[in-house]
Structure 1
Amino acid sequence: MISIRRRRTIVLPSLLFSLVWLVFFRGHLGWLHHPFTAASNGTSADDGIPPSPFQPGLVEFWDSASRALVEAKPDCSLPTEPIEAPPPLNDFASLAKGFDFRPDLLPMPQQDVDKMRDAHARFVSRIPELAQRLPYANGTQGIAVAASGALLPVFLVSLKMLRRTGSVLPVEVFMESKDKYEKEVCEIVLPPMNATCMILSEVLEAVPEKLKWSRYQLKALALALSSFDDVLLLDADNIPLEQPEHFLNSEPFLSKGFVSWPDYWANTASPKFYDISSQPIPSTAERAASDAGQLLLSKGKHAPTLLLILYYNYYGPSHYHKLLSQIPAGEGGDRETDKETYLAAAMSLNASFHTVTTKIETLGYTQVHDKQFKRAGRVQHNPEDDDHHHHHDGQKMMLRRPSFLHANTYKLDASEMSDHFNNELRSQRMWGETKLMVERFGRDVEKQVWAETLYTGCHLEHAFSAWENKSNVCKKIGRVYKFLYN
């Protein structure tokens, strides 16, 4: 028989251990009670990667949404033959008023159109229920960016330019999976700039339907899974020129909840898309194609639109990207991407939106060897200026405040810019002379961009996995900056 003294010796340490366990560990093991086997609140501590701060309930939402996506799969495939389009479709500005021709370039049998319409209707029928369950932090505003690997150093230049505007908006940077996580960047470099790394696989892999998303599809996911209510979806190589807070707190965003910007080209969506989505066919001259380098969306007003955006992008590479662009052979580039899916979703649901009417502006330089102008960047404008004018010397003039500079030709990667400078740029600036920059933007934006590119190349030369096999990054970009500005 064990003595009372002996039993007390055994019981007290056991009780003490239990209390310690409850106090220090219970709050960290909430994922054990989750209905799925994977953690809903992020990765485990064992892999050294802190969990992403996704919204509570996001995994439950994604379980339902992913099932709905799979159940609404189009039961047909699109033709893969090259498409030939007539020349007028390549330039929206050249279209005459009243131009109604909409090309029908995808030879789909009517039975396949019917199958896609049925699948589309199945998903749309699920949208009201799913939209009610979409979790986000009410009343918040922020920026969502899909950036990892080679895009991460490019994004850092954009982020530092954003902070130069005085913007304090939080930024969520979305990466596909744990193997894309960059420890130094995510845990040391980004937090002081109010930016957070978010790992998509923590949500995507935590449900039974493990859907595969890549490249341009990740932008739609970043928009949907961000924690913000009002979101600026931004490309990693897109530079805000003024505080995005201005757009989110003014018209037309306040009333519409959705703002998109125009591209150079005409919108060339197939008439079959409008049959599939059960809506009237709009005139080709009604609006230009979309530039999805930047987009404003309110989840409070547009959760249904956001779900249809996900549908168009999940089935984008196989179906909707081609239907929404009918990219002509020889056009090249990446026009058959996510860019048309956002506005198309709003139109399909008859939701409110505003498309900026100020035309896209081109920046570039004159090539030394042949004196030809070379495009090297694009500028988009403040959506408020669509309805505001000012007077100068008695004349009515339109305001055209530049809001975004998309550096889409030369990626602002310090490890590559020195080569571009020596080879294509031929030792000159890419967006114009200093005087022109200051006149147009109120400051020398290009010099600022080169300075931030120099910063990433010299202060973070060993931080990016994409630069692992590159040498003398700081030295090379330093020579360029010194040549241009010293």
Structure 2
Amino acid sequence: MDALTRQGKSVAFLRHFMLKVFFFRGARAKSLVIILLLPFTFACLIYRLGIYDDFYVPTQVLGTRLDASNHGPSGWWAEFFARLEETRVTARDVKMRGRGPSINWKPNINATRPDLIQLREDDEAKFRQSHAAFVYQLALFSSHLPYDAGTTGIVTTAGVSNFGQVVSMVLMARQAGSRLPIQIFLDSSSPWVDWICSETMSRFEAKCVSLENTWGGIRHSLPRRLVRFQWKIISIIASTFQNVLFLDADCLPVLNPDPIFDRGSEPFASTGFISWPDFWVTNTSPRFYKIAGDIEVPPVTPRTSPEAGMMVYDKARHADTLLLAAYYNYNGPKHYYPLFSQAGAGEGDRESFLHAAQVLRALREKGLYQQPTAWMKPGVGVRKGYYDVKTLPAVHGRSARGKWTGMFMIQKDPMADYRAAMAVIDKDSKKNKSKMKPGPSENQPSSLPKRNEAVAMVEEQDFLTDTTPLDTFGNLTLALKDHDSRTMFFHHNGVDPDFTRIIDRKSRMVVTNEQGKYVRLWGDPRWIIDSFGRDVEKLLWEDSMQVYCQKGLARFRRLQKVCTRMREIYEQVYA
């Protein structure tokens, strides 16, 4: 039932009820009923006049048109939540002495790692016990992570409130030339979201997935409700793809990302995990490294804090990395998130992914973790490691009426970034006459007991990439300024790229100049046209109008207004 139908029924019910009150016997009774009816009458009038808009209110039950994940609740998901709950952190909520600093990272920065965590010895012991218990079962647990072998796709997560951003992301991916299938994991739905999922997304080879419907009875037995950041790791794990490009709903591809996964393409072939940098100096507490297994505390100077708006994973190689990240996020809001960021800029899930990879590498080198080896097959041409893009992000904004507004972060092509980094390392290695280029790991063999002969035949070190040379992030960043690095993503974390909100007064998507004329979303288009060979912004408007002006969406009053406003702005700015 859409909003207009509900509104009509509400008004009819109110009229019928008022007639009953009018003929009700007894003045005192009439007065009492009228007083009780006033709040309801007021609410109906607000709704009738359009003052209240329930467009973004999620339905209690997700739309029946949504597709369910192939991974049913009876097997792996039950094990997943059971293992997380069995090893959950039982320590008190983490407290801090003040807030961690928000410092912009730059090469050779003079900064120290803050230590603001207040943690009693018994709580730290509970942290260590929990972490060790999860890692102990990790090799077995990760050996049967479900996915469809050999598949590759884009994954994102959203709800009713930001589904408009997902529409923009899907349109931009196709505009950029991507042919990868897309899975959209929804934590909530509504009639308009349901309709677009069913009638529109299939044209773009995108599928909406309701995890909560898939979990069935498990959803009601979960000891805690998943919130905001926790959905990201769940969506990556739940995706049926083996190779995943995860994108935040507001992360718009402007360069085709598909070649990242081509056979032999670097850095994916050598690592199976790619992350991108943020602006900030990392604030991860020294206590975290102690809790994780007394591993070495790294300096803050080599690399920035990572962002999590875009990530690349091969689940075959990094099943254990993903599941450890899931553990950090399951225990995140009150425990690991404060340890990772100490209330600094961007506290949330972003530190959990790269830290999971770093922790497992450190534990393996200490002989405290034995990873799965089933994926280690000669002739496939892949190794395991991690690559964090070395080129720093940039900010792009728009000026109007003398005010500058940050719109998005510019993130680079990891393939071009890797080639530039290798060129710098090769140059340095020739200068120093030493081999620095990343390759098979030369770490000492694990001190863990030997495995069975079939597994022992695998030369594990031949399948691991030694990323030590790439840990000189700071020096690489300076050197990369002389190399061409292509832009691949606009991470729209400044202004939400949601066209369903352009009719809202508080929306910053559309603004006017001093003459009262609408201005472009991204300002002067020349640099974008020069960079990508097309007017990316104009094409996004055209594609978005094709979606929101469909006849099937005309029954939603807000989308009627959105379509009218989009056409008005397009004629004034882009025609």
TM-score under structure 2 length normalisation: 0.68
Structure 2: distance between partners of 1:141 and 1:476: 37
Match of 2:290 among 275, 299, 316: 275
Return the offset for 1:463: 7.5
In structure 2, what is the equivalent of residue 369 of structure 1? 402
Structure 2: distance between partners of 1:102 and 1:180: 48
In structure 2, what is the equivalent of residue 403 of structure 1? 488
Q: Specify the code of the residue in structure 2 equivalent to 1:312.
A: Y
SS of structure 2 residue aligned to 1:438: helix
Listed as ranges, the gaps of 5+ residues in structure 1 are 1-45
Match of 2:242 among 226, 229, 233: 229
Q: Specify the code of the residue in structure 2 equivalent to 1:417.
A: I
In structure 1, what is the equivalent of residue 573 of structure 2? 484
In structure 2, what is the equivalent of residue 41 of structure 1? none
- Does the alignment pair 1:96 with 2:108? yes
Contact 2:160–2:189, Cα closer than 8 Å, also in 1: no
- Does the alignment pair 1:83 with 2:98? yes
Return the offset for 1:443: 2.2
Is the alpha carbon distance of 1:180 and 1:274 closer, same or farther for their aligned partners in structure 2, counting shifts above 3 Å? farther
Match of 1:291 among 304, 307, 312: 307
Deviations 1:78-110 (A, max 9, x none): 345673334xx52012x535x461101222223
Structure 1: distance between partners of 2:409 and 2:181: 25
In structure 2, what is the equivalent of residue 163 of structure 1? 174
In structure 2, what is the equivalent of residue 3 of structure 1? none
Contact 1:162–1:241, Cα closer than 8 Å, also in 2: yes
Return the offset for 1:179: 6.2
Contact 1:385–1:398, Cα closer than 8 Å, also in 2: no
Structure 2: distance between partners of 1:404 and 1:132: 33
User: What value does the CA root-mean-square deviation take over the aligned residues?
Assistant: 2.9
Match of 2:231 among 218, 226, 229: 218
Q: Specify the code of the residue in structure 2 equivalent to 1:65.
A: F
SS of structure 2 residue aligned to 1:283: coil
Return the offset for 1:472: 1.3
Return the offset for 1:48: 7.5
SS of structure 2 residue aligned to 1:296: strand
- Does the alignment pair 1:456 with 2:547? yes
In structure 2, what is the equivalent of residue 433 of structure 1? 524
Q: Specify the code of the residue in structure 1 equivalent to 2:328.
A: Y
What pairs with 1:461-480 in structure 2 (closer than 5 Å)? 462=553, 472-480=561-569
In structure 2, what is the equivalent of residue 261 of structure 1? 276
In structure 2, what is the equivalent of residue 360 of structure 1? 393
Between 105-114 and 177-186, report the one with greater CA deviation: 177-186
Deviations 1:304-329 (A, max 9, x none): 0111111111111121112111123x
Deviations 1:139-158 (A, max 9, x none): 11011110220222221121
Match of 1:445 among 536, 539, 554: 536
SS of structure 1 residue aligned to 2:545: helix
Structure 1: distance between partners of 2:113 and 2:538: 43
TM-score under structure 1 length normalisation: 0.80
What pairs with 1:171-210 in structure 2 (closer than 5 Å)? 171-176=182-187, 182-207=193-218, 209-210=221-222
Match of 1:122 among 106, 109, 133: 133
Q: Specify the code of the residue in structure 2 equivalent to 1:199.
A: S
Return the offset for 1:423: 4.8
What pairs with 1:285-324 in structure 2 (closer than 5 Å)? 285-324=301-340
In structure 2, what is the equivalent of residue 150 of structure 1? 161
Contact 1:175–1:197, Cα closer than 8 Å, also in 2: yes
In structure 2, what is the equivalent of residue 9 of structure 1? none
SS of structure 1 residue aligned to 2:548: helix
SS of structure 2 residue aligned to 1:150: helix
Contact 2:97–2:116, Cα closer than 8 Å, also in 1: no
SS of structure 1 residue aligned to 2:310: strand
Is the alpha carbon distance of 1:470 and 1:388 closer, same or farther for their aligned partners in structure 2, counting shifts above 3 Å? closer
SS of structure 2 residue aligned to 1:140: strand
Contact 1:454–1:478, Cα closer than 8 Å, also in 2: yes
Contact 1:366–1:374, Cα closer than 8 Å, also in 2: yes
Return the offset for 1:51: 7.0
Q: Specify the code of the residue in structure 2 equivalent to 1:365.
A: R
Structure 1: distance between partners of 2:93 and 2:570: 49
Contact 2:250–2:496, Cα closer than 8 Å, also in 1: yes
Structure 2: distance between partners of 1:376 and 1:425: 17
Deviations 1:190-237 (A, max 9, x none): 112111111111343443852521212111110000000000111111
Listed as ranges, the gaps of 5+ residues in structure 2 are 1-60, 362-383, 424-479
- Does the alignment pair 1:63 with 2:78? yes
Contact 1:411–1:417, Cα closer than 8 Å, also in 2: no
Is the alpha carbon distance of 1:60 and 1:176 closer, same or farther for their aligned partners in structure 2, counting shifts above 3 Å? same
Structure 1: distance between partners of 2:349 and 2:554: 30
Contact 2:95–2:119, Cα closer than 8 Å, also in 1: no
Return the offset for 1:137: 0.3
